[in-house]
Amino acid sequence: MKAILLFLGFTSICFNFISQSDKELDKKAKQLVSKLTTEEKIAQTCQVTLDALLKTDDKGTIVLPIEIDEKKLTQLIEKQSLGSVLNVSSHTLTREGWNKILQQIHAPFQYGKTKAPVIYGVDAIHGANYVVGGTLFPQEIGLAATWNPSLANKMGEITAYETRASGVPWNFSPVLDLGRQPLWSRFFETLGEDPVLASQMGAELVKGYQGTNPAESTRVAACMKHFVGYSLPKSGRDRTPAWIPERQMQELYLPSFKAAVEAGALTVMINSGDVNGTPGHVNKYLITDLLKNKWGFKGLAVSDWEDIRMLHTVHKVAATQKDAIIMAINAGLDMSMVPYNGPHEEYLNLFKEAVVEKKISMKRLNDAVTRIIYVKLKLGLYEKQLIPWNEYPKFASDEFKNDAKNAALESITLLKNDNQTLPLKKSEKVLLVGEAADNLIFHNGAWTHTWQGEDTTFNSAHAQNFHQVMRNAMGERLTYVKGYDLSSLGGWEQCTVVDIEKAVRAASSVDKIIVCLGEMPATEKPGDARTLNLCEEQQRLVQALQETGKPVILVLFFGKPHIIREIEPKSDAILHAYLPGDFGGEALADILFGSSNPSGKIPYTYPRYDGVVEHYDHVPSEEKTNKTLGKAIDPQWEFGHGLSYTTFSYRDLMLSKTDLNGKEELAATVTLENTGKIAGKEVLQWYISDLYASVTPAGKKLKGFQKVALLPGERKTVSFTITPEMLKFYGVDNQWIAEPGEFILQVGNQSVNFQLK
């Protein structure tokens, strides 16, 4: 019997809705829209948070465990026909819990009381992080450090499967904002500082989420966010202004979004902040002219949290709420994350007034709703709204966990390894220090089980933190001392020292010391910071341990760079773990013991000083030294840096020819050899330098990369194609141009010059 049920379950998962051509879907969407009243159309553009539908007590506080309030459901979904619901209330739900809620939300459509199904969206940004038991991957900054697009695809695929298993078909991911402002609280959500790396990894996430047919019961719609420029707040604080010249916008911030559009991303979320004085939500040029018209994006554009309202209350570009709606919708926004119960009534009413007064045309409204319905059709929501949670046999399977661990393994970056401190030897006794080793919240970061991810109650029962893994592996040979305390303060920049002396005493009986440094999980406003400096207490602890003379290994559980200039020189080895997810502890242990060889490369420039923001693609003038300060560009670690337990040599970099005419491609080859004694993976990073140009050229720019596995002594010839596009920059006339002249191609320690005629 069980076998039959399993089989039935499996067949329903494999059941794909017949993929309809986009043209047919467009036609169908238009027909469906034509059957809606104006009120129903407006309601489709309205998205509320789950809290809006939940039971509350007399004081308006959500009753736990959460439960749908039938009256609110009838009012918002059945009578008002709202188009979308989002988010998780307070904390992670089980799959059954999710299913129950979604079943209730879909009931009005299933019983024919509304004309369109609800589309439910959630932030599953590093695995199904709001589903109990979901498989948690590294946060995006760690994923980027793998430089392995196939892992991004896997993460997307598994996240989609497990998110859909909860009943949710829409994922507010990937973040495609570039990480070039390390103070920003959401730095860890980015794919690092480089547009080529972020574009390739981001596009693979999109493909992993959506597959070739997003209507499959194992896929979700991706949401590119936050379009665009959100990640560069001048102040470093969340949702504050960015100033981005058009050239930087074109060369740095737009490419990852363009690549995601090309990968078929179905939805986009708009930047909450403002760029060059224009809030993202009223930027018609970006949303309509560029994204929709020029790039041909066919999906829907959703606002971020309460952002239409903010145009009036915060940004002050709209004198009234009605103006705010008019400005945003006319700029090209299709759906508003309103998202509260009450304000949504005002939204519906004011929107209607604007339509009646012809301040929003019926054409624009129809276009917005057609896009929404198109996405719902693409997801197969008209045919089937919910597939029961128990029809997903691979949920939290060993296979998935293994994939998450692999992603963590390939992300962990060996920044320093003096005197072959690592790997550890089997017989060595180790002192492990640091709260960050001892709790999964420091491995996962925000958006894990709760919004800020700081509540330890919801840690995955199936995962072990790094301390637990080490304890199991080493037993009595391991001593653990907490050392410092982050979580009791809950603050971002603070921590307290718990027991330096105890740690120092414990050091006397061990061979090596591992200190795990960490930060409190936080995101958005609660994560705002004023400095990148690591809290003094953690530094003092490390210094005291360094004075014992025992080799010190630092493990950085950091979502952003914290300044460690003072403690780096006397540290013998340093591993950057980023926020590696639930299996980060296991992955780290494998690397420390040498059963796995590190292959991560840091996806951003790690600063040495708090006040200096620098990037690898700086221009030559930034390199001018100052007599007193010395080296001008002097990061702690360069973008792309990462060591291995083996060594690689590059040789024979060759080009098919040394000059090209601007239309043709140029083939490059290089030989890579594993010259060490163990198997390893190397990331070939192909950089091009334009020596002279009418716009100051960057010293070098990444143009492509490959991750290659080699056995000891193995050699491979790796090819790379230079396309004409790669030689272009955004010129003074605001056009992409390539100028004749000399270029250098560089990979590893090899370089070769070529001419563009």
CA distance 198 to 177: 8
Strand partners, 413: 576
439: CB partners within 8 A, 6+ apart: 456, 459, 465, 487
User: How does strand 750-756 pair with strand 741-747?
Assistant: antiparallel
Which of 304/410 has CB closer to ligand BGC?
304
Question: Does position 389 bind ligand BGC by CB under 6 A?
Answer: no
Q: Which residue has the tokens 């040599």?
A: 649
Other beta carbons less than 10 A from residue 10's beta carbon:
14
Which of 524/528 has CB closer to ligand BGC?
524
Contacts with ligand BGC, 122-161, as mask; x by CB under 6 A:
-x--------------------------------------
Q: Closest approach of Cβ 125 to ligand BGC, in Å?
A: 8
Buried b (16+ CB within 10 A) or exposed e, 38-77: eebbbbbbbbbbbbbbbeeeeeeebeeebebbeebbebbb
Q: How many residues bind ligand BGC (CB under 6 A)?
A: 10
| Chosen residue from 95, 164, 207, 225 binding ligand BGC by CB under 6 A | 225
CA distances (Å), origin 397, targets 28, 162, 230, 308 = 38, 10, 36, 41
Residue type, 521: P
Helices 500-507 + 536-546 axis angle, to 10: 20
Q: Closest approach of Cβ 446 to ligand BGC, in Å?
A: 11
CA distances (Å), origin 380, targets 17, 30, 215, 691 = 7, 16, 5, 52
Q: What are phi and psi of 304, to 5 degrees?
A: -90, 180
304, 528, 572, 617: which one is catalytic?
304
Contacts with ligand BGC, 77-96, as mask; x by CB under 6 A:
---------xx---------
Question: Does position 528 bind ligand BGC by CB under 6 A?
Answer: no
Q: Closest approach of Cβ 102 to ligand BGC, in Å?
A: 17
Question: Does position 305 bind ligand BGC by CB under 6 A?
Answer: yes
Catalytic (active site) residue 304: yes
Which of 225/405 has CB closer to ligand BGC?
225
User: How does strand 300-302 pair with strand 267-270?
Assistant: parallel
| Chosen residue from 170, 172, 187, 687 binding ligand BGC by CB under 6 A | 172
| Chosen residue from 193, 304, 454, 528 binding ligand BGC by CB under 6 A | 304
- Rule CB under 6 A: which of 698-717 touch ligand BGC? none
611: CB partners within 8 A, 6+ apart: none
Strand partners, 704: 686
Which of 66/688 has CB closer to ligand BGC?
66
Q: Closest approach of Cβ 225 to ligand BGC, in Å?
A: 6
Which of 187/480 has CB closer to ligand BGC?
187
Q: Closest approach of Cβ 324 to ligand BGC, in Å?
A: 17
Question: Does position 449 bind ligand BGC by CB under 6 A?
Answer: no
Which of 126/700 has CB closer to ligand BGC?
126
CA distance 118 to 171: 14
Which of 181/272 has CB closer to ligand BGC?
272
Asked whether the beta carbons of 482 and 405 are under 8 A apart, the reply is no
SS3 letters across 50-94: HHHHECECCCCCECCCCCECHHHHHHHHHHCCCCEEECCCCCCEC
Strand partners, 93: 131
Q: Closest approach of Cβ 59 to ligand BGC, in Å?
A: 24
Contacts with ligand BGC, 230-269, as mask; x by CB under 6 A:
---------------------------------------x
Q: Closest approach of Cβ 756 to ligand BGC, in Å?
A: 41
Question: Does position 385 bind ligand BGC by CB under 6 A?
Answer: no
Which of 121/598 has CB closer to ligand BGC?
121
251: CB partners within 8 A, 6+ apart: 195, 729, 730
Question: Does position 537 bind ligand BGC by CB under 6 A?
Answer: no
Q: Closest approach of Cβ 592 to ligand BGC, in Å?
A: 34
CA distances (Å), origin 98, targets 66, 166, 388, 702 = 11, 5, 10, 43
- Rule CB under 6 A: which of 507-526 touch ligand BGC? 524
Active-site residues: which are they?
A: 304
Contact residues: ligand BGC, CB under 6 A: 86-87, 123, 172, 225, 269, 272, 304-305, 524
